[in-house]
Structure 1
Amino acid sequence: MSIRLAINPLTWTNDDMPELGAETPLETCLAEAKQAGFAGVELGNKFPRDAATLGPILARHGLALASGWYGSRLLERDVDAEMSAAEPHLALLQAMGCGACVFAEVSRAIHGERTTPLSHRPVLSDADWAVLAPRMTEMAQRMSSRGLRLAYHHHMGTVVQSEAEIDRLMAETGPEVGLLLDTGHLAYAGGDPLRAARRHVGRVAHVHCKDVRAATMAAALRQDLPFLAAVLEGVFTVPGDGAVDFATVFGVLAEGGYAGWLVVEAEQDPAKAHPLTYARLGHDHAAALAARAFTR
């Protein structure tokens, strides 16, 4: 698979705060994603979840399905139970020809809680890691047998948020567990997307190209805002509108042989950040940098 650009529908309509973009139909999201230049999209809350329905809709817009989020609870249930819970999602991704599953452990997570400060987010004990890592490795092995790579999404407000936690996850899981490198979440967590890309490029299975507004991020951290409150303040934006050095990150990914989707993702309030305008900005910036990095 060559490098292709996709966008997450969070630009138009928010999964965690459904009132944001509630009035925007799926057809608008897809039509504008194509208009902005994207080849694919990730799943969102307005997407039908069966391939027989979704496939023709995406085909009508000339879009592929890049992947979709799955929130696991491997700290709370064994792999058999998790595979059973994940089956409808995995079956959809498989039927739609996806190569990776966006996968995040959401046990104890606070990212969807609107009044809980980020400083209260869960932190794993050594005993927790001893449960989570082998279960995730087994989960990834089972998914691999179906042609899907587990792409682990580190995320603010969850048990794997910091750069050190990403490092530990990669160290304690088998090679079947891939990494979803999310530049915005890692920057917000105080990490370095470039350093993480260099360290784990061989495990990167999917990329979310999210930018951060540095001043807004600093204020959110200073005020210890809940994650969703920071989103409403505008902590995230599309590539080209923030502080992340995508040119250098893309260069590291290219040198490491990454071949997959680059997904523009920036959850913002669509009433403040006009979706098509930002979709175009994110596409054009990422496309120009990717063309230079991946065609050397």
Structure 2
Amino acid sequence: MAIRLGINPLTWTNDDMPELGAETPLETCLAEGKQAGFEGFELGNKFPRVASQLGPILQRHGLALVSGWYGSRLLERDVDAEMAEAEPHIALLTALGCTVMVHAEVARAIHGARATPLSQRPVLSDADWDLLAPRIEKFGRRLKARGLHLAYHHHMGTVIESQADVDRLMATTGPDVGLLLDTGHLTFAGGDPVAAAERHAARVVHVHCKDIRPAVMRDVKARDLPFLAAVLEGVFTVPGDGCVDYPAVLKPLAAAGYAGWLVVEAEQDPAKAHPLTYARMGHDNLARFARSAFG
């Protein structure tokens, strides 16, 4: 099986709500992630951002760096300015052997705004698309020259959230722009991750495996809560603990020859969802789904 299983530290500690898991040291996250069976971690807010510091820490735990989130503002600045802003992040990822960069456009985004309901998320005009898509494509081309494949992360509360947004991004950019398929975000946005996997399998370069609790999703949508409030309510969980059909999602990716990471990224309140328990559950369920799909 060519794929590898990784995890995001959001299971233990939250980037957008640092008070969640604030008391949990990085060493605990890494040790428990390894104990749960994962081969690598994505970056989080407790990780050193210098390769000479982070590399030995990961090596001590027998873990790889999978990738890390980068939020661009390409609606507000050109690609040269964005590359300059991203340079420390690019240098860290390349120094530690990553092959993809998790990327989302965060200009106008509301996912971190604790009082703004998701119904007020930004929507791109045709003129915005005409500006943004070529810049993302050029950014991806520049990253490719540095050895990283741009993995575009559609995300709740951002300008590229819905299945229609994802389809349009894929249609208006070329293969230098890879897709990060996030099963939880797409389901929450009203899309179908199975259909997206079938339609865009050849462009998928990274996968975030978060599941959805459907009753919670219906409730938070009915109350029109902000994104972070929905997280606190427990809308996300680990693979196999919600409604996402992972065998059906993974099958077209396997058929297309996907050979990257499958990353458990299921932000929850660690006081309600015991991190090691959910990390083990996520790993074991995802490993079972992956064996079935990839052989």
Common fold, TM-score beyond 0.5? yes
Aligned equivalents of 1:2, 1:285: Cα separation in 2: 17
Aligned equivalent of 1:223:
223
Q: Deviations over 1:101-156 (max 9, x none)?
A: 00000000000000100000100000000100001110000000111000000000
Q: CA deviation at 1:194?
A: 0.2
Aligned equivalent of 1:37:
37
Aligned equivalent of 1:138:
138
In the alignment, structure 1 residue 87 sits paired with structure 2 residue 76? no
Aligned equivalents of 2:150, 2:247: Cα separation in 1: 26
Q: CA deviation at 1:256?
A: 1.2
Aligned equivalents of 1:169, 1:237: Cα separation in 2: 27
For 1:64-103, list aligned pairs within 5 A. Answer: 64-103=64-103
Aligned equivalents of 2:76, 2:2: Cα separation in 1: 37
In the alignment, structure 1 residue 108 sits paired with structure 2 residue 84? no
For 1:174-193, list aligned pairs within 5 A. Answer: 174-193=174-193
Aligned equivalents of 1:30, 1:126: Cα separation in 2: 44
Q: Helix, strand or coil for the counterpart of 2:85?
A: helix
Aligned equivalents of 1:247, 1:166: Cα separation in 2: 21
**What letter is aligned with 1:19?**
E
Q: Helix, strand or coil for the counterpart of 2:262?
A: strand
**What letter is aligned with 2:198?**
R
Aligned equivalents of 2:99, 2:195: Cα separation in 1: 25
Aligned equivalents of 2:54, 2:285: Cα separation in 1: 29
Q: CA deviation at 1:75?
A: 0.2
Aligned equivalents of 2:173, 2:190: Cα separation in 1: 23
Q: Helix, strand or coil for the counterpart of 1:45?
A: coil
**What letter is aligned with 1:182?**
D
Aligned equivalent of 2:202:
202
In the alignment, structure 1 residue 118 sits paired with structure 2 residue 106? no
Q: CA deviation at 1:238?
A: 0.2
Aligned equivalents of 2:202, 2:250: Cα separation in 1: 14
Aligned equivalent of 1:4:
4
Q: Helix, strand or coil for the counterpart of 2:75?
A: coil
Q: CA deviation at 1:36?
A: 0.1
In the alignment, structure 1 residue 273 sits paired with structure 2 residue 287? no
Aligned equivalents of 1:204, 1:289: Cα separation in 2: 18
Aligned equivalents of 1:177, 1:157: Cα separation in 2: 21
Q: CA deviation at 1:251?
A: 1.1
**What letter is aligned with 1:34?**
K
Q: Deviations over 1:185-243 (max 9, x none)?
A: 00000000000000000000100000000000000111110000000000000001100
Aligned equivalent of 1:148:
148
Aligned equivalents of 1:99, 1:144: Cα separation in 2: 9
Aligned equivalents of 2:121, 2:286: Cα separation in 1: 31
**What letter is aligned with 1:163?**
Q
Aligned equivalents of 2:96, 2:211: Cα separation in 1: 28
Q: Helix, strand or coil for the counterpart of 2:66?
A: strand
RMSD: 0.7
Q: CA deviation at 1:2?
A: 2.0
Aligned equivalent of 2:26:
26
Aligned equivalent of 1:211:
211
Q: Which runs of 5+ in 2 are unaligned?
A: none
Q: CA deviation at 1:179?
A: 0.2
TM-score for the superposition, normalised by structure 2 = 0.99
**What letter is aligned with 2:277?**
T
Aligned equivalent of 1:163:
163
